Amino acid sequence: MQTDGHASGEITRITQEPRDNIPEFDQPRAEAAVRELLFAVGEDPDREGLRDTPARVARAYKELLSGMRLGAEDVLTTTFDLGHDELILVRDIELWSMCEHHLVPFTGVAHIGYIPNDNGRITGLSKLARLVDVYAKRPQVQERLTTQVADALMEILEAQGAIVVIEAEHLCMTMRGVKKPGAKTITSAIRGSMHRAATRQEAMSLIMRGTR
Ligand SMILES: Nc1nc2c(ncn2[C@@H]2O[C@H](COP(=O)(O)OP(=O)(O)OP(=O)(O)O)[C@@H](O)[C@H]2O)c(=O)[nH]1
Ligand SMILES: [Zn+2]
């Protein structure tokens, strides 16, 4: 039976994600829900300023959660055989995701490094940023986002190793609740040959070079 576990070294079967079972975004239902929420908070959704708000909010959520209907294989399409089988690292990829506990954003940067397969199959650099969005544009937690990006690199590119570090600030901790602006959560996922001390150290020093 398929489990959702992320035991060390275990790779989630990205390509077997049951995305086909996700229904189309239901715009009328989302609009009705936002209208109901406005009633619930004591607002009048029929007053002039709010008249178009349910439709706008529904469209915004459709966009913010668009990654639910995408998979890594949709974006890791362009690959080149450059024969390069050493570290490739893209740092400071801005990300905006949605905390699944409060449906408010968390935002920060992702650093993604991988060592291609020994056939040297690499992907376009922009595809790494697109990959982040596939998983960020979903109801998420930062830990899952981090492991999903790493697992996708291993599975789809058949990389020898991968490292993903995400630094993010959660608005659910900033604008409400504990109210601690500036607190940063850092998560990492390390796969395959990136476990080798020297390789990991090289990647980490390149990542840390950019932190202020
Ligand atoms: N591990 C993890 N926790 C998260 C993430 N995003 C939000 N959380 C936390 O999820 C927890 C939910 O806790 P609850 O006690 O159920 O909810 P709550 O009463 O709104 O909690 P407070 O935020 O402490 O007010 C909070 O501690 C959040 O900080 C995430 O990406 N990863
Ligand atoms: Zn939250």
Q: Which fold has domain 78-208?
A: GTP Cyclohydrolase I, domain 2 (3.30.1130)
**What's this model's pTM, rounded to 2 decimal places?**
0.90
Q: What are 72-85's pLDDT values in tens digits?
A: 999 998 888 888 88
What spatial distance separates the first Cα and last Cα of the chain, rounded to whole Å? 44
Q: Looking at the predicted structure, is the pLDDT value of residue 99 above 80? A: yes
Say how far apart CA 37 and CA 201 lie, in whole Å: 49
**Is 170 part of the annotated catalytic residue set?**
yes
- Going from N- to C-terminal start, the domains of the chain cover 19-64, 78-208
Q: Looking at the predicted structure, is the pLDDT value of residue 15 above 90? A: no
Report the run of H or E that residue 187 belongs to, with start and end.
strand 185-192
Q: Assign domain 19-64 to a CATH class.
A: mainly alpha
Residue of 36, 101, 195, 201 marked active site = 101
Residue of 100, 158, 195, 201 marked active site = 100
Burial tier of 67 (Cβ tally within 10 Å: 0-12, 13-18, 19+): buried
Tell me the CA–centroid distance for residue 104 and ligand 1, in Å: 11
Ligand 1 touching residue 173 (CB < 6 A)? yes
Ligand 1 touching residue 178 (CB < 6 A)? yes
Tell me the CA–centroid distance for residue 10 and ligand 1, in Å: 26
**Is 172 part of the annotated catalytic residue set?**
yes
Ligand 1 touching residue 7 (CB < 6 A)? no
Query: What pLDDT score does 200 carry?
Result: 96
Dihedral, CA atoms, 119, 120, 125, 130, nearest 10 degrees? 20
Q: What are 48-69's pLDDT values in tens digits?
A: 999 999 999 999 999 999 999 9
Residue of 27, 43, 169, 172 marked active site = 172
